[in-house]
Amino acid sequence: MTEKRNRKLKLHGFNNLTKTLSFNIYDICYASTPAQREEYIEYIDEEYNAARLTRILTEVAQIIGASILNIARQDYHPQGASVTMLIAEEHSGPGKLSNSAAPGPLPDAVVAHLDKSHLTVHTYPESHPGNGISTFRVDIDVSTCGLVSPLKALNYLIHSFESDIVIMDYRVRGFTRNVRGRKHFIDHKIDSIQNYLARDTKQRYEMIDVNVYQENIFHTKMMLKEFNLDDYLFGTAAENLGPRERNLLHKRIKREMLEIFYGRNLPAGS
């Protein structure tokens, strides 16, 4: 929010608005046997171990304009990982830090702190005990103060993981004051998280918004539009399955995706 259009907000002291971006990323897979399910979980756990998560978060720090102070990381047994990265706002010249509604760069459990702020990523591989469905969930929280905007890291993070479903929340909390003492509860214009997504992301995903503008709360859910069964099979290919089994697995995987997307169990037979 600015006092006049195209004018920067002149503050009294530090900008202590807290901007928090939280999202869950899901990858879904079908593995027919217990051994294949265990192999999938081992594969995904190694693919996104603490070392790789550290590299991803290091890039995130550069994207949002923060310098790294300290790093701690941990791989868990039997699966999962977390990384803690202390970071601080980096002042590297005008224009580097921005809240503009333009997509951030694309790529190739983590926690980071920014002067009273933090980022977190944790991984959760799991599998269904009976129907062969396995999922890999990544929880990411980016909470920043000052000029640093977490929204610039959206596209990089979405492309850094195998993202079938992405559920995002963005909220601005607290207030800051201008030089005349007037409170400002947001320092940038936003009407949807979708404004910060790259065009190719918008084309690939079905999206819905649930926003509470008066509370500065923005919520977006994304699910892949196109469904290719081979992308969800681990240890086999669709051509090795009969028509009936392919149809059954298509329905089973799609149901899993819809339940995660809508956040509720669907009625039997739907």
Which tops the pLDDT comparison, 268 or 239?
A: 239
Q: Identify whether 188 is a catalytic site residue.
A: no
At residue 104, does pLDDT exceed 60?
no
Q: How would DSSP label each residue in the chain? A: --SSTT-PPPBSS----EEEEEEEEEEEEE-SSHHHHHHHHHHHHHHT-HHHHHHHHHHHHHHHTEEEEEEEEEE-SSS-EEEEEEEEE---STTSS---SS--------EEEESS-EEEEEEEEEE-TTT-EEEEEEEEEEEE-TT--GGGGHHHHHHHS--SEEEEEEEEES-EEBTT--EES-SS--S-GGGGS-HHHHHHEEEEE--BGGGTEEEEEEEES---GGGGBSSS-GGGS-HHHHHHHHHHHHHHHHHHHHTSPPPTT-
Catalytic residue among 117, 143, 160, 163: 117
pLDDT at 109: 60
Percent of the chain with pLDDT over 90: 35
Residue 127 — very low, low, confident or very high, per pLDDT cuts 50/70/90?
confident
Q: Identify whether 145 is a catalytic site residue.
A: yes
Which tops the pLDDT comparison, 146 or 6?
A: 146
pLDDT at 182: 87
Catalytic residue among 29, 113, 122, 219: 122
At residue 97, does pLDDT exceed 50?
no
pLDDT at 128: 80
Q: Identify whether 117 is a catalytic site residue.
A: yes
The pLDDT of 140-146, averaged and rounded, is 79
Residue 102 — very low, low, confident or very high, per pLDDT cuts 50/70/90?
low
- pTM for this prediction: 0.81
pLDDT in tens, 36-86: 888 888 888 888 999 999 998 888 888 888 777 778 899 998 889 998 777
Domain residue spans in the chain?
18-262
Q: Does domain 18-262 have CATH number 3.60.90.10?
A: yes
Catalytic residue among 29, 113, 145, 163: 145
